Amino acid sequence: MSTDDGFRADWVQKDFYGELGVKKDAPADEIKKAYRRLARANHPDSHPGDTAKHEKFKAVAEAYDVVGDPAKRKKYDELRSLHGPGGFRPGAGGGGGFNLEDLLRERAGGGGGGFGDMFGDLFGGGAGGGFGGRRQQPRRAQKGQDVESTATISFTDAMDGVTISLRLTSEAACSECSGTGGKPGTKPRVCPECEGAGYVVASVGGGFSMNETCPTCGGRQLIYDEPCPVCGGSGRGSSARTIQARIPAGVKDGQRIRLRGKGAPGENGGPAGDLYITVKVTPHRLFGRKDDHLTLDVPVSFDELALGAEVKIPTLGGAPVTLKLPAGTPDGRTFRVRGKGSTRADGTRGDLLATVKVQVPAHLQERARAAVEAYREAMAGTPLRANLFEQAGS
């Protein structure tokens, strides 16, 4: 059986140096060369179906895992030195041997130091542990799950910022069993699958192994014979709550905002998850937006552009401003009104981009028609389209 630091109880009976064909005082590079040579010679991919070579490959890998690691090799050598070159003989009696069970009982009875301390350090047999077993690990604090939500706000609120109320539903510990997974009033017992470690050792081939979450207890280390009737033993439930969330000024349509610590609560003292809010901004009837600037189409008449004029326009949430149109202003020209746009992250504001658009009346009164016809007559000699066809053919 393996321990937290990877040792197995049966290793104390094995001669890893002999398995690799090196001396006990062999340097690290010699041990590595011996391992590589034997691994190549016995690799399963090179000898399919040869059980003997497969077993040899595993034995060589196991030996190198110990004596190829300086810390493990030191402890292994210390253990072997206590019983001479013949290695350990757990349970042996009489002769020059010793009884491993007696030593363990002696340590349990209060005898400290010496072999007992070293053996406990090697195999995880200190307080709360035992020889050949996995020590029960304290349950780790886990961060709560992140939560996703969507909020729809007005165009004005997006410019100024707003605090909204959100109703959130997220995964949380079962309210009936408080996340234990057991029926209230019943007592748990240590998981027999992982012996309270919360994980099991799974082989991945080639003599190697890795830790996986225990499938029986789900990493909780304890199991209940009677599961919680509400969550069915999962320990999970749902939690509904209302929170106040601040949407910052200048948020854009479709922007995703992260609010730290506003997600699902953590487990075992862990921090809460985060809340991610995707903001939807409803369009404004008058204003538009371009990056950090607001946009506005300003209807004007032909004479205002031709002769020049002063045009008063609105701003979002502020006092009106006046545009001064020079005589001869072309249709579609954009004027910039500084500081009347969206709020930026640094607190400054963008600009208002006002674009003038000539409005052609659908119907003209008699005096207006006469004036337009007089204008047409006056401009008859102006070749506005003189080069139009020449440019089209070039």
- pLDDT of 119 > 80? The answer is no
* Residue 328 CB-density burial (10 A; 0-12 exposed, 13-18 middle, 19+ buried): exposed
Percent of the chain having pLDDT more than 90?
29
Query: Considering only CA atoms, which of 202, 227, 198 is closest in space to residue 214?
Result: 198
The alpha-helical segments, DSSP class H, found in 245-351 are: 302-307
The pLDDT value given to residue 205? 65
4-18: average pLDDT = 65
Report the C-alpha gap between 21 and 33 in whole angstroms.
11
309-328: average pLDDT = 94
The pLDDT value given to residue 327? 95
Domain boundaries, the chain: 9-123, 147-188+224-281, 288-378
Residue 140 — pLDDT band, cuts 50, 70, 90? low
- pLDDT of 53 > 50? The answer is yes
Contacts of 118 (CB under 8 A, 6+ apart): 75, 78, 79
Residue 365 — pLDDT band, cuts 50, 70, 90? very high
The pLDDT value given to residue 139? 57
Query: Considering only CA atoms, which of 259, 258, 177 is closest in space to residue 222?
Result: 177
pLDDT digits 0-9 by tens, 83-104:
444 444 444 444 344 444 444 4
- Domain 147-188+224-281 in CATH 2.60.260.20? The answer is yes
The pLDDT value given to residue 299? 96
Answer yes or no: same fold for 9-123 and 147-188+224-281. no
Contact predicate 293/335, CB 8 Å: no
Whether the predicted model's global pTM rises above the 0.75 cut: no
Query: Count of CB atoms within 10 A of residue 79's CB?
Result: 19
The pLDDT value given to residue 174? 80
- pLDDT of 135 > 80? The answer is no
Amino acid 178 reads S
Among 136-140, 194-198, 254-258, 260-264, the range with the most confident prediction by mean pLDDT is 254-258
The pLDDT value given to residue 153? 95
Contact predicate 353/292, CB 8 Å: no
Name the class of domain 9-123. mainly alpha
Amino acid 384 reads L
Return the H-helix or E-strand segment holding 29: helix 28-42
Name the class of domain 288-378. mainly beta
The pLDDT value given to residue 253? 93
Query: Considering only CA atoms, which of 70, 89, 72 is closest in space to residue 123?
Result: 72
Contact predicate 134/197, CB 8 Å: yes
What DSSP character marks residue 116? H
- pLDDT of 142 > 70? The answer is yes
Using only C-alpha atoms, the chain has a radius of gyration, in whole angstroms, of 41
Ranges 163-167, 261-265, 312-316, 340-344: which has the least confidence: 261-265
Report the C-alpha gap between 344 and 346 in whole angstroms.
5
Three-state DSSP state, 95:
coil
Strand partners, 51: none
Query: Considering only CA atoms, which of 262, 269, 255, 257 is closest in space to residue 145?
Result: 262
Tokens matching residue 12: 């104390």
Percent of the chain having pLDDT more than 70?
77
What DSSP character marks residue 71? H
- pLDDT of 74 > 80? The answer is yes
